[in-house]
């Protein structure tokens, strides 16, 4: 997306941001009250489930039932509708669309540096920058409540995240455009920066997280997910979470689908850079399986492809995930993309400091004969996900600060960083407003979670352990 900021001077952009304070006071972002016409949250979830793999939908509900935080992870569509009723500055950026705290994690750059960045872009879409900040803030409160943190501790964590976003955006407003584009969070630098803030236990946990991320690579996933059968490497079945294509369909139909999926891998290569496409062409597809992923994504069609290079010790695992319309699409301007996979990939490339070299998209006809859009990426490449349930207050506060700064950098790449920074200002008015919003929305999320629990108990929907 283009914010059109090049048409105005930095002074004009800053004046625009400050002027917005009168139209949309920063304190107004504290407001959240469900409207009288608010849709039934179960209806929203069921509408999404209607186009998903039927036998996997109960697993989605089972995972969402486990806790308010797990429910929140699967409730991006519910919150998108709620955010559309809140005050909006009208300043847009490319949004993650699902910026809860677990969608910030350690990732590998193509240059093999370990970085901290946003990871999930299924819902990415242009929209008001504050929507992402509000989703992050509410997730922190929900996770902190789950850990039994008191009101004051929760307030401090959310204020720290929002202050980090605000202060980083102000720094980006003063930076040259290219410097903003090249900015990133290298974990070697991050470890040095936070060493003084974390205690000895926190530093040990961070070091273990870095080590774990580096060990979670293609070879580790390959050893975990495959075995040799009759001299051939095959993906191991773990139903219903991983089901090889050979177990899903009978012989003739299976061969037809396998051939179609090989065409997907070949065809998606055209969305890659020419050098990356040349690299992909050095591999051959040897097996494929359906995989269940995440919480909110359960039921969407997701496939893993096992490819081999020169031999069985030269693997590449790709994940092709169905891309549907963003949950933000109904509440913002029309998307310029007709291909949902391209929407996801474009948004990811725009927001991430460095993206997977195998990230691309393709459209294909599924087992049921329907055309669907997919995006493709490596299954695992130096990844680590935080565990909020084991975080102590100082650890969650540090993580919140890192998330806030990362989100600011992602928004600054596409939005009007100068106007946003001027709107936010030097004071903590916005930070304090988000504390109130996050607590109010955490209350709403608990009510919605209970509604799902009640719906399962009453037989309205079916849930299974995930």
Q: Is residue 183 assigned to a domain?
A: yes
One domain, residues 329 and 438: no
One domain, residues 37 and 173: yes
Report, as an integer, the average pLDDT of 232-247. Answer: 93
One domain, residues 150 and 36: yes
Tell me 40's DSSP state. Answer: P
- Residue 367 is predicted with a pLDDT of 67
One domain, residues 336 and 423: no
One domain, residues 176 and 228: no
Residue 234 forms beta bridges with which residues? 227
One domain, residues 428 and 372: no
Q: Is residue 389 assigned to a domain?
A: no
- What is the pLDDT confidence band of residue 108, given thresholds at 50, 70 and 90? confident
From 360, 378, 396, give the residue that closes a domain.
378
Q: Which of 125, 134, 135 has its CA nearest to residue 94?
A: 125
- Residue 297 is predicted with a pLDDT of 86
Report, as an integer, the average pLDDT of 366-377. Answer: 86
One domain, residues 341 and 225: yes
Report, as an integer, the average pLDDT of 259-286. Answer: 95
Q: Is residue 330 assigned to a domain?
A: yes
One domain, residues 242 and 349: yes
Q: Is residue 203 assigned to a domain?
A: no
Is 344 or 194 the better-scoring residue by pLDDT? 344
- Residue 135 is predicted with a pLDDT of 98
Report, as an integer, the average pLDDT of 134-143. Answer: 98
Q: Is residue 331 assigned to a domain?
A: yes
One domain, residues 232 and 330: yes
- Is the pLDDT at 53 greater than 70? The verdict is yes
- Domain range for 283: 218-378
One domain, residues 31 and 156: yes
From 378, 400, 423, give the residue that closes a domain.
378
173 vs 380: CA distance, rounded Å: 34
Report, as an integer, the average pLDDT of 247-252. Answer: 80
Note the pLDDT tens digit of each residue in 410-445. Answer: 999 999 999 999 999 999 999 999 999 999 999 999
Q: Is residue 196 assigned to a domain?
A: no
Cis upstream peptide for 259 (omega within 30°):
no
- Is the pLDDT at 380 greater than 80? The verdict is no
Phi, psi (degrees; rounded to nearest 5) at 234: -135, 155
- Residue 466 is predicted with a pLDDT of 65
Q: Is residue 368 assigned to a domain?
A: yes
- What is the pLDDT confidence band of residue 248, given thresholds at 50, 70 and 90? confident
- Residue 352 is predicted with a pLDDT of 96
The structural domain count of the chain equals: 2
One domain, residues 135 and 236: no
253 vs 258: CA distance, rounded Å: 9
- Beta strands 232-235; 360-365: pairing state: unpaired
Is 206 or 46 the better-scoring residue by pLDDT? 46
- Residue 110 is predicted with a pLDDT of 82
Q: Is residue 432 assigned to a domain?
A: yes
Express as a percent the part of the chain with pLDDT over 90: 76
121 vs 99: CA distance, rounded Å: 9
Average pLDDT score over the chain: 92
One domain, residues 371 and 412: no
Find out whether 364 and 157 touch, Cβ atoms under 8 Å. no
């Amino acid at each position: 997306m283009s914010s059109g900021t090049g048409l105005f001077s930095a002074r004009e952009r800053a004046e625009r941001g400050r002027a917005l304070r009168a139209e949309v006071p920063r304190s107004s972002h504290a407001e959240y009250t469900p409207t009288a016409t608010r849709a039934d949250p179960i209806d929203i979830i069921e509408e999404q489930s209607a186009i998903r793999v039927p036998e996997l939908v109960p697993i989605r509900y089972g995972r969402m039932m486990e806790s308010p935080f797990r429910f929140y992870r699967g409730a991006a569509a519910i919150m998108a509708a709620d955010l559309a009723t809140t005050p909006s500055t009208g300043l847009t950026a490319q949004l993650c669309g699902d910026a809860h705290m677990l969608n910030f994690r350690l990732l590998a750059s193509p240059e093999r540096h370990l970085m901290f960045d946003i990871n999930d872009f299924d819902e990415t879409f242009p929209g008001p920058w504050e929507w992402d900040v509000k989703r992050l803030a509410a997730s922190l409160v929900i996770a902190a409540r789950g850990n039994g943190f008191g009101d004051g501790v929760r307030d401090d964590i959310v204020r720290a995240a929002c202050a980090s976003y605000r202060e980083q955006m102000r720094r980006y407003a003063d930076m040259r455009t290219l410097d903003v584009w090249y900015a990133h969070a290298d974990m070697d630098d991050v470890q040095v920066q936070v060493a003084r803030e974390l205690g000895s236990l926190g530093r040990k946990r961070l070091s273990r997280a870095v080590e774990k991320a580096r060990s979670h690579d293609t070879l580790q996933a390959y050893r975990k997910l495959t075995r040799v059968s009759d001299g051939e490497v095959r993906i191991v079945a773990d139903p219903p979470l991983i089901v090889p294509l050979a177990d899903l369909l009978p012989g003739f139909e299976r061969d037809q689908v396998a051939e179609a999926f090989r065409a997907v891998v070949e065809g998606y290569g055209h969305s890659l850079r020419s050098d990356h496409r040349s690299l992909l062409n050095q591999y051959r597809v040897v097996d494929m399986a359906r995989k269940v992923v995440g919480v909110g994504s359960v039921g969407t069609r997701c496939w893993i492809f096992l490819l081999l290079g020169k031999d069985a010790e030269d693997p590449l695992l790709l994940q092709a995930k169905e891309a549907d319309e963003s949950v933000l699409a109904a509440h913002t301007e029309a998307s310029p993309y007709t291909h949902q996979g391209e929407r996801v990939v474009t948004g990811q490339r725009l927001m991430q400091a460095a993206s997977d070299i195998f990230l691309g998209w393709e459209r294909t006809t599924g087992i049921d004969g329907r055309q669907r859009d997919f995006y493709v990426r490596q299954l695992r490449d130096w990844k680590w996900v935080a565990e909020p349930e084991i975080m102590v207050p100082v650890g969650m506060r540090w993580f919140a600060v890192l998330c806030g700064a990362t989100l600011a950098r992602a928004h600054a790449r596409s939005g009007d960083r100068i106007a946003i920074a001027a709107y936010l200002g030097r004071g903590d008015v916005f930070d304090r407003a988000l504390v109130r919003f996050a607590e109010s929305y955490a209350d709403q999320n608990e009510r919605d979670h209970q509604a799902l629990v009640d719906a399962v108990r009453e037989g309205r929907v079916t849930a299974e352990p995930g």
